[in-house]
Amino acid sequence: MNESALQLMQNDLSDLAQHLTKNNFEVWVEQNTAQHAQLSNYQTLSLEQIGKTADLAIVMGGDGTMLSVARSLIEADVPLVGVNRGRFGFLTDLRAEDMLSEIDKIVAGEFIKEPRMLLATQVLRNGKVVHAGYALNDVVIKSGLRLIELEVDIDQQFVYKQRSDGLILSTPTGTTAYALSAGGPILHPNLEAISIVPICPHTLSNRPIAVNSASQIEVTLVQFSEAHLSIDGQLQIDLEIGDKIAVRRAEKNIFLLHPSNYCYFDMLRNKLNWG
């Protein structure tokens, strides 16, 4: 983030905190955010503490910030509202210039509450779990310099072996992210589904598919020179031949709060420049 963007963010955070305090709301600021935004007049808490204490988490930044916070607060059941200070804003849909008036409406009860599913992921190596975590957008198995060979099973049924640059397992939320760039379908967020999108498959007939969100998906790394697992494009885990990546729907959702006039298709049209 450049200096001018950082200054705008600091000003917005300060304005929002002052506005909420004047309206008799108790305000906590996440510790690292308070430090970077130089907000010294408010009580600071860790994200974990905010999840245990707050009734609403307001996230300012881009979609990446929302992804990180959502994963951190999945156990807390705290609804999230996003103020867009990023590029696309698929998840952070309040404009900074409308922030105060829209937040007033939301805290007054004028909002649409929308559940979003997450993926629970485990990496198993020699039968032992070496990594476990959650993804709001996607779980990506990616090659290094060369093709990798993957074996995909769904509900313990063999689907295919594939040679490609990798594979994207995406929630409906994530279908407007990397999966879209790789040629996958856009799934409406209220669909109970997981999309499976090959990345540059060596066989052109190997196409994206969508499966029920109750499906248990297992991907085995058969052959590669280098590969890693990426969670929401933010966490990266190195993989070894024979590793199994088990993906299923997480037991808990996160909840986004949108303005009362929010429309998913309006958002898509604006963000993707549809006519």
3-state secondary structure of 245: strand
Strand partners, 254: 116
Angle at 213 between CA 271 and CA 74, to 5 degrees: 70
Closest CA to 229 of 217, 238, 240: 238
Backbone angles phi, psi at 15, to 5 degrees: -60, -45
**Using CA atoms, how far apart are residues 159 and 93, in angstroms rounded to an integer?**
38
Number of neighbouring beta carbons within 10 Å of residue 113: 10
Number of neighbouring beta carbons within 10 Å of residue 54: 17
Among the listed residues 12, 15, 55, 63, the single catalytic one is 63
* H-helix or E-strand spanning residue 143: strand 138-143
63 is catalytic: yes
Active site residues: 63
